[in-house]
Structure 1
Amino acid sequence: MTTRLRFCLVLLPMFAGCKYLPHTDYFVAPANEPNPAWIRVVNFTQHAAIYQTENGVKTGGVVRTGPLPFTHTQDIGMPKAGQDLTWDYYESTIRPGLETTVYMTWEGSRTRTCFVTTQFTPEAGRYYQFLLTSGSSGKCTLSPTLIERDKEGTGWHLVRNENVTYKNAGPTAETFYTNSQFENPDYQPPPELYPGTDVR
């Protein structure tokens, strides 16, 4: 085999195989939406995703689009409804009238995780919030709420959003291990097999 042929065989995957490189889809807020709905996801935003479906086409993806993976908060001025929100939440506009999926995941040590997926159809001008609790107790729970004005019109409060459905059993999910070997507390893999993961 000639050197030139070897060189071409090495370059071929670089030009023809881009589809095999890692790819992440991100949620992008709608541009020029005249009357959007608003959404906030609270906690574990590094694993949260939003998708919207129009005419059978699903778009969206993970919400953490900052230049650094440590960017935990995006605040666009949604009402806080008396909550002490200072870190790890994501706010955005979304298109109303479209089936919308919110996927949230908690990840603990030793590949332990749980997730909840919910669907709803947002209405224009309304504020939606999805908060996920920690799974450290063995379960995680998603709380879907609406953010509404007080009757006096001076403040905001949270109201449970009943107009959601769940892909699985409901708002609460049991934790599980993505690698069942970790169920054994004595299992200690080489750390280089799980870079960035707490395997203690």
Structure 2
Amino acid sequence: MSTRSTLCLLLLPMFAGCQYLPHTDYFVAPANEPNPAWIRVVNFTQHAAIYQSANGVKTGGVVRTGPLPFIHTQDIGMPKAGQNLTWDYYESTLRPGLETSVYMSWEGTRTRTCFVTTTFTPEAGRYYQFLLTSGDGGTCTLYPTLIERDKDSTGWHLVPNKDVTYKYDGPTAKSFYTNSQFEDPNYQPPPERYPGIDVR
């Protein structure tokens, strides 16, 4: 058997195992949508996801545009409505008229987390924003808003979006520990068991 054939046979099991590697679905903006809706998620974009459902098929995923989590902002020119947005927000287009779910989550120290999921149906040409607050105080709150033109057309402002529904209790959720052992402030796990997580 040649060296090349031997090498191929040795590498085959490694490539066959790729199906077992972790897989992440990403939200992809619609291509060639003639009259889209627009969406912005603000804060904690590394834990945000958008899904749209058409004909019983749900597509979408996390909003970061790739597997590397270092790019916190995607700006496509949506109106800022007087907000000082400089970092950690994501803007995209949406297909209008489809049921759309927005999942936003905050993650703190010691496996503490807080999340809110909301659903709405975007309208063509409208601007939507979803902002999540930190769960450090024991709760996090999602603020769904519309970005609308001022009456004199010189600027933009935010108005509450009342056409949303919530999967659980509403826009405010309690934070909780994904590992209940951390509820004890004296619990100190071995750091190698929680790589990359602040366990102080």
TM normalised by structure 2 equals: 0.93
**What corresponds to 1:160 in structure 2?**
160
CA distance in 2, matches of 1:12, 1:72: 36
The 5-angstrom pairing of residues 29-48 of structure 1 reads 29-48=29-48
Contact 2:104 2:115 in 1 (8 A): yes
Report the secondary structure of 1:40's partner residue: strand
The secondary structure found in structure 1 opposite 2:114 is: strand
In 2, distance between residues paired with 1:19 and 1:187?
A: 37
2:106 corresponds to which letter in structure 1?
W
The number of residues matched between the two structures is 193
| 1: CA distance, partners of 2:132 / 2:156 | 20
Query: Map of 1:1-200 to 2, 5 A cutoff?
Result: 11-12=12-13, 14-15=15-16, 17-66=17-66, 68-200=68-200
Aligned-partner SS, 1:192: helix
The SS at the match of 2:83 is coil
C-alpha displacement of 1:67: 6.1
Q: Deviations over 1:77-98 (max 9, x none)?
A: 0000000000000000000000
CA contact under 8 A between 2:101 and 2:118: conserved in structure 1? yes
Q: CA deviation at 1:14?
A: 3.7
Task: Please state how far the C-alpha of 1:112 moved relative to its aligned partner.
Answer: 0.2
Asked whether the 8 Å contact 2:26–2:66 carries over to 1, the reply is no
TM-score, normalised to structure 1, is: 0.93
Q: Which residue of 1 aligns with 2:3?
A: none
Q: What percent of counterpart residues are identical?
A: 82
Distance in 2 between residues matched to 1:95 and 1:78, nearest whole Å? 16
Q: CA deviation at 1:68?
A: 3.2
- How far residue 65 of structure 1 moved from its aligned partner, in angstroms, is 1.5
CA shift, 1:10, in A, is 8.8
Distance in 2, matches of 1:28 and 1:75, equals 15
Q: Deviations over 1:20-72 (max 9, x none)?
A: 21000000000000000000000000000000000000000000114631211
- What is the distance in 1 between the residues matched to 2:162 and 2:50? 19
Quote the Cα distance in structure 2 between the aligned partners of 1:56 and 1:18.
Answer: 29
For residue 18 of structure 1, report the CA deviation from its aligned partner. 3.4
Q: Unpaired runs of 5+ in structure 1?
A: 1-6
Q: 2:59 corresponds to which letter in structure 1?
A: T
